[in-house]
Amino acid sequence: MRRKVQFMIVQMEGNDMKILVPVKRVIDYNVKPRVKSDGSGVDLANVKMSMNPFDEISVEEAIRLKEAGKAEEIVAVSVGPQKAQETLRTALAMGADRAILVNTDEEVEPLGVAKILAKIVEEEAPQLVICGKQAIDDDSNQTGQMLAALLGWGQGTFANTVELDGNSVDVKREIDGGLQTVKLNLPAVVTTDLRLNEPRYASLPNIMKAKKKPMDEKTVADYGVDITPRLTTTNVSEPPVRQAGEKVADVDALVEKLKAVGAI
């Protein structure tokens, strides 16, 4: 009797746990973005693009859960242009099992992305979706929360620690005053913060192996979702430039300056 119960628990933890990881292709975080002079946007021609850094953290977390025997399969998803394939290959090389590209040249807003992801969740039935907390291009910080709302699931945003346990997940969250822990029933959405883990680099053999992993190509129409933008960007401008001030020679001169500007 006892044995049987244990066996069932193992089954629940191991075999059913599928993790969906949405990853976005964005400007590399080391690149300083340049605003186009006609105010139409940021110049992305010939600019290095990478996986959104928070999404690397998401992929890493999913892999660690799999390595710990708590997850079975990791599916990476990206909504974006054909080139987003590269981002998905990176996720596969890190250790995701398969990928889905929802191919579109339109700029899809977080609400649209969340709607597409909700459809994919219906098909794939993951127990956990791990998003980044924020895409470093639009800085929206919305998609994961929106997805959780559309699915009626719990949300553990800005995760510092994720502990998966049978039917629930404990998420320690980075909040303004410190840390907060919430317990979510599964299935649930988690969004990752910087301290959750340090993402690995894909090794050369794994990059080779990733080329053979399955990648499904879909279109937005396959999901029957209306992604018509709700927001129109009418102008993109440079922020006011700050002029560098002056350097002072020593601490005494610094104190003088601080007094002069009324800082002390």
Ligand X SMILES: Cc1cc2nc3c(=O)[nH]c(=O)nc-3n(C[C@H](O)[C@H](O)[C@H](O)COP(=O)(O)OP(=O)(O)OC[C@H]3O[C@@H](n4cnc5c(N)ncnc54)[C@H](O)[C@@H]3O)c2cc1C
Question: Where along the sequence are the contacts to ligand X (CB under 6 A)?
Answer: 29, 53, 136
CB of 14 to another protein, least distance (A): 24
CB of 202 to another protein, least distance (A): 22
What the block records as the tokens of 214 is 């399955």
The answer to whether 131 contacts ligand AMP (rule: CB under 6 A) is yes
- In sequence order, the 6+-apart residues with CB closer than 8 A to the CB of 176 are none
Binding-site size, ligand AMP (CB under 6 A): 23
What the block records as the tokens of 183 is 């317990």
CB of 129 to another protein, least distance (A): 14
Q: Return d(Cα 1, Cα 75) in angstroms, integer.
A: 35
Q: Which of 96, 101, 135, 202 binds ligand AMP (CB under 6 A)?
A: 135
Q: Which does 51 bind (CB under 5 to 8 A by kind): ligand AMP, another protein, ligand X, none?
A: none
Three-class secondary structure of residue 120 per DSSP:
helix
Cis ω before 229 (30° cut-off from 0)? no
Using DSSP bridges, classify how beta strands 168-175 and 178-185 pair: parallel, antiparallel or unpaired. antiparallel
The answer to whether 127 contacts ligand AMP (rule: CB under 6 A) is no
Residues 144-173 that bind ligand AMP (CB under 6 A): 144
- In sequence order, the 6+-apart residues with CB closer than 8 A to the CB of 41 are 35, 233, 236
CB of 131 to ligand AMP, least distance (A): 4
The answer to whether 227 contacts ligand AMP (rule: CB under 6 A) is no
Amino acid letter, residue 259: K
Evaluated on CA atoms 33, 52, 141, 125, the torsion sign reads: positive
Place of tokens 């992801």: 117
Amino acid letter, residue 134: Q
Closest CA to 120 of 111, 129, 133: 129
- Residues 67-86: x/- map of binding to ligand AMP (CB under 6 A)? ----------xxxx------
Q: Which does 74 bind (CB under 5 to 8 A by kind): another protein, ligand X, ligand AMP, none?
A: none
The answer to whether 23 contacts ligand AMP (rule: CB under 6 A) is yes
Q: Which of 16, 124, 138, 170 binds ligand AMP (CB under 6 A)?
A: 138
CB of 18 to ligand X, least distance (A): 27
